[in-house]
Structure 1
Amino acid sequence: MCGICGVHSASEAPDPDLVRRMLAALAHRGPDGSGYYRDERVALGHTRLAIVDTVGGVQPMCGEDEQVWVTFNGEIFNHVELAADLRARGHRFRTRNDTEVIVHAWEEWGPGCFDRFNGQWALAVWDRRSGDLVLSRDRFGVRPLYYTHSGGRLLFASEVKALFTDPDVPRELDPAGIDQVLTLWSAVAPQTVFRGIQQVPPGSYLTFRDGVATGCTRYWAPTFPARGSEPRTDLTANADALRERLVTATRLRFERSDVPVAAYLSGGIDSAVTAGAIAGFTDVPLHTFSLRFADDEFDEGSYQTLMAKQLGTVHQDVVVRERDIADVFPDVVRHAESPLLRTGPAPMFLLSRLVRESGFKVVVTGEGSDEVLGGYDIFREGRIRELWTHDPAAAEAAVEQLYPWMKRSPHQAPAFAKSFFGRNIVAGDPAISHRPRWDTTAVLRSMLTAEIREACDRSPADEVVAAMPAEEAGWDPLSRAQWLEMTTLLPGYILASQGDRMLMGNSIEGRFPFLDPNIAELAAAVPADHKIHGMDEKHLLKRAFADLVPEEILRRPKQPYRAPDAAAFFAGGTPDWVFDVTSVSALEAARVFRPELVQRLLEKARRTQGRGLGNTDNMRLVAVLSTQLLHSELLTGSADRTAAPPEPLTVFDPNLERTSLERTSLERTSLEITGRTPA
């Protein structure tokens, strides 16, 4: 896993000092070395976390004739098979690295190569033959890629902070992006929360010529068969196929690495399956890591210990206390580069720190299972809301299946069901599953300044619904809900703020077997009731791995991952930074939230030590703190944007006079970027 950046100019050779500053801003993503390529029109930069072919994987990398150059962040897990195919077609390889496979795949298939990749990536291809610069991102958006135009140049990078090293790039929040976060939990590509900065959409590639975009092509998007026409209808056969594909996907992500790989154990079924597949189908000793909480309300330690003992793993955990979250939150927001509505990313940052301190660079996790296989409560609640539109009595009965505790309060159950499931429903609404979440978070908009509210003339929810494909009319309700989740929360929050950013903040690569395209393809092709059977979520997954996962985990009620929110900042003492970013002057400088409303919310939190706040106020508080931190850390921070970092040790630059750093022959690509033995 790495960081990438670059500059494309139609009029002059890119400034090497700018490229070096961009590389310095991405050093945490690639601490094992850095380098750049520069010619008269393009500069490509790379910071390396050496995982595959640690000696031969110098980047940027080119083909034999030096006409195609690539800088790449991610992994192509089927690179061995692709390399064999390309060799049979006459291509010659100098390394074992998956980056070189990308170079030759582009030479052979052009943009058609992206559909052949099984992996997670953000990459740039500079094709000197055509004059095209191509930016591409993996199917689900595991790896980030941002771009902006500045002074007649195109700049791109893995993180926004690298773009901000150019003094000509304005540092401003975008009201539309803020509005999306406060409704959908994240900005939806190509939108970001920064004015003038966009992101490459998942499953897409953008082509630029002379610094100007010539097109955005979607090579993959989540899709589902029409209801009743699913090609895979046999439950047992589907469970067997899921098991086979998931074991293959997990082994692929565990074994294709030249450094040790660990696994997360959360206490739920997803990580139990991936860790179990590693322990049960490989001969390599497995190290597992877990996140625990001092507060029993959030802790899943007993289930983690149970699974670790069953698998016989070398297990470690980190116990997170409320103050730990408050202390690390500024770092978390700086890495997330987005406002947050929950503190959940903070403990994930502390967990990845433990992994790094334990000597690992790669971890396999269970993210993506809920989205692909129907695991979230929002999917089950959506099923009830859909039922409510034509059979309220049956819907009320289904509520008791979803929430068994309601049987103890039979007089309250109908009122609760009507107020929650019967509110704001319209028959045929393709977003019927997500309206309660969006309505709840949109309440946060009441705290915005008039300036921000006036600038937001479009409803984020309406925009997402309008972007749904025409064929959604024939999908079953679960498929529509899955599409919405894969388009909003998964790439923008789960894989970004809570995933890539918290992992790479500590130089850790995450690998996600459930997002293997073969698994996504299978899951999309099965009937909805294979995924949610009655009210049993992820039924197909449980059936497929019933012999591998303990009954206590297999049948336990789903416990969504949560962390203390307001209490983290007020129950155990309030850190100084909270007062700094919420002062009237800081709020007026950011011009996002109304100071008088923020002060009332803070007083309420202080009075109750953060423990007496409801769900909405908790989200309000975290949104305010994270947005104000974003403003202070990234937009008005004191970091010098003009100071050049040390020279990278590998420079491919025909514009320079020959020096000890200049690339003089293709043989240089066999050298390690840092010139030292990788860790």
Structure 2
Amino acid sequence: MCGLAGMLGAPEPNIVRKMIQLQNHRGPNGSGFWHDESVCLGHARLAIVDLEGSPQPIQSHEGNVLIANGEIYNFESLRSSMPDYSWTTSGDSETILALFEKTMGANMTPSAKDHGAWIQQLDGMFAFALWHPQRKQLILARDEMGIKPLIRSRIGSSLVFSSEVKALRAHSEFYPQLDEQALMARLVWEYPLDSTTLFLDVHQVRPGTVEVWSFENGEPALLDSHRFSIPRLSPLEDYNEETGAQELLDGFIDSVGERLMADVPVGIVLSGGLDSSLVAAVASDAAHRYNRPVPECWTVAESEDNPDWMAAEVVASSLDLKHHQSIMEQDSFARHLPSLSWHGEDLDVSVLFF
């Protein structure tokens, strides 16, 4: 988890600095800023890979600038495929910048579809803003599942964007108002169907989408947008149970292993059920096999008599994993509701932790 903030058009560094301060909880390990006459970018970092290095924003030798929140699981193989690139860090985020320059090169276009083609090579969860100063184009993109948040709003003569809506309060012209239509849609469907947020005139970059912004008549303008990934469930033809089961297992093991790429311990929410127990078992094995930090587990229940609580204890103990346990008192939800609302900002619970 990191915090992103930026302004396109009439950038004010002091506002972006305050936006990052309002998101310090997302990135307590450092902050950085970059600006020119057209854009200002800010970043609050939670160090996961290359703990001492990889400060952001990252500026390439070509002059392009990146701020990113996320993890690129295939960054090592992507780095190996670009041996001629002049790397400035050992982290995974710079892979985004390198892949952009390798793919687009001097052929930078306003076509969001063209950008979607290289972004699809990234295997991970991410939200990023990439500034091309020569063309004065800003690229905003988000992973296909929308794990990492990225919101934007037009305020005055600027496009202002960040990881969380609360950061927009740094701008004196931002007045948060409830979007009643968006609220009603969420109460019906229980998750966002479009780019709306619960705040009027504040929009999210949709999952699996890349947007290209620049200027028209001196004002920030959306040049193009493209949904580069739409997850679909399609029936398998000629399905074989034996090979299919093995492929599922292999894919599951690989997927869990990829998420241990961090240089710090990974946390697992352990309910004691089948899903989380399998994740814990595979993660524990992979951590020892690949010499990664051993994961730790967290369990929350209303009492120690809860079957999930007891099952989680058995799983954590059998895997010899550090187990953090918390009892949820009857009034705890009401007591913590303001904090939940402050962090979540929406009714889409899938983004609360990222």
Q: TM-score, normalised by structure 2?
A: 0.90
For each residue in 1:583-620, what CA deviation from the matched residue of structure 2 results, as whole angstroms up to 9, or x when unmatched?
A: xxxxxxxxxxxxxxxxxxxxxxxxxxxxxxxxxxxxxx
Give the alignment partner of residue 310 of structure 2, picking from 293, 302, 314. Answer: 302
CA distance in 1, matches of 2:24, 2:18: 10
Which one of 150, 153, 165 corresponds to residue 148 of structure 1? 153
Q: Pick from 346, 351, 354: which aligns with 1:496?
A: 351
**In structure 2, what is the equivalent of residue 115 of structure 1?**
120
Q: Cα distance, 1:8 vs. partner?
A: 0.2
Cα contact 2:304–2:327 (8 A) shared by 1 = no
**How much has 1:292 moved relative to structure 2?**
1.9
Separation in 1 of the partners of 2:175 and 2:238? 51
**Structure 1: any 5+ residue segments left out of the alignment?**
341-491, 501-679
Q: How does 1:427-466 map to 2 (within 5 A)?
A: none
Who is 2:297 aligned against?
A: 288
Question: Is 1:239 matched up with 2:245?
Answer: yes
Partner of 2:81, secondary structure, is: helix
Q: Which amino acid aligns with 2:55?
A: V
Question: Which of 212, 215, 232 pairs up with 2:224?
Answer: 215
Considering only CA atoms, is the larger Rg found in Structure 1 or Structure 2?
1
Write 1 or 2 for the structure with the bigger share of strand.
2
- Contact 1:123 1:136 survives alignment (8 Å): yes
CA distance in 2 between counterparts of 1:84 and 1:171 reads: 46
| Structure showing greater relative contact order (alpha-carbon pairs closer than 8 Å, 6 or more residues apart) | 1
8 A contact 1:187–1:193 mirrored in 2? no
SS of corresponding position for 1:316: strand
Structure 2 Cα separation of the partners of residues 129 and 113 of structure 1:
20
User: Is the 1:292–1:319 Cα contact (8 Å) retained in structure 2?
Assistant: yes
Say whether residues 1:336 and 2:341 are aligned partners: no
Distance 1:74 1:253 in 2: 11
Give the Cα–Cα distance (whole angstroms) in 2 for the partners of residues 281 and 186 of structure 1.
Answer: 33
Q: 2:86 is matched with which residue?
A: 92
Shift in Å, 1:294: 2.3
Q: Is the 8 A contact 2:210 2:226 kept in 1?
A: yes
Cα distance 1:189–1:295, how it changes in 2: closer, same or farther (>3 A)? farther
Q: Secondary structure at the match of 1:236?
A: helix
C-alpha deviations, 1:260-301, integer Å up to 9, x for none? Answer: 2232211111111111102233315443221222285x6611
> Which residue number corresponds to residue 388 of structure 1?
none
- Supply the distance in 1 between the matched residues of 2:336 and 2:238 (Cα, whole angstroms): 47
Q: Structure 1 pair 141/150, CA: closer, same or farther in 2 (3 Å)? A: same
Identity of aligned residues (%): 29
User: Which residue in the other structure is 2:7 paired with?
Assistant: 7
* Distance 1:323-1:7 versus aligned 2 partners, 3 A rule: same
State whether structure 2 residue 100 is matched by structure 1 residue 106: yes
C-alpha distance 266-153 of structure 1, shift in aligned 2 (>3 A): same
| Separation in structure 2 between the aligned mates of residue 286 and residue 169 of structure 1, nearest angstrom | 41
Contact 1:148-1:196 at 8 Å conserved across structures:
yes
Counterpart secondary structure, 1:46:
strand
Unaligned runs of 5+ in 2: 105-114
Q: Distance in 2 between matches of 1:201 and 1:314?
A: 37
Q: How many residues align?
A: 335
Determine if contact 1:4/1:71 at 8 Å carries over to the other structure: yes
Q: Deviations over 1:166-191 (max 9, x none)?
A: 12122111111111121112333301
Question: How far off is 1:84 after superposition?
Answer: 0.6
3-state SS in 2 of match to 1:116: coil
Which residue of the partner structure matches residue 279 of structure 1?
Answer: 284
Partner Cα distance (2:194, 2:82) in 1: 33
Residue pair 2:265, 2:296 contacting (<8 A) in 1 also: no
Partner of 2:272, secondary structure, is: coil
Equivalent AA in structure 1 for residue 212 of structure 2: T
How much is the aligned-residue C-alpha RMSD, in angstroms? Answer: 1.7
Amino acid in structure 2 at the alignment position of 1:6: G
The one-letter code sitting in structure 2 at the alignment partner of 1:29 is R
Runs ≥4 residues deviating over 3 A: none
Contact 2:296 2:323 in 1 (8 A): yes
Q: Distance in 2 between matches of 1:37 and 1:189?
A: 31
Instruction: Give, in whole Å, the separation in 1 of the partners of 2:124 and 2:209.
Output: 14
| In structure 2, distance between residues paired with 1:55 and 1:232 | 50
Asked if the contact 1:189/1:200 (under 8 Å) is kept, the reply is no
Tell me if structure 2 keeps the 8 A contact 1:121–1:143: yes
In the aligned structure 2, how far is the partner of 1:118 from the partner of 1:35? 25
Which TM-score applies when normalising by structure 1? 0.48
Deviation at 1:306, TM superposition (A): 2.2
| Separation of aligned partners in 2, 1:16 and 1:285 | 40
- Alignment partners' CA distance in 1, 2:79 and 2:213: 27
Give, in whole Å, the separation in 1 of the partners of 2:228 and 2:191: 23
C-alpha separation in 2, matches of 1:73 and 1:63: 18
**Amino acid of the residue matched to residue 333 of structure 1?**
S
SS of the residue corresponding to residue 170 of structure 2 reads: coil
Alignment equivalent of 1:258, drawn from 258, 263, 268? 263
| Equivalent position of 2:20 in the other structure | 23
Structure with a larger share of its residues in helix: 1
Q: Confirm or deny that 1:248 pairs with 2:254.
A: yes
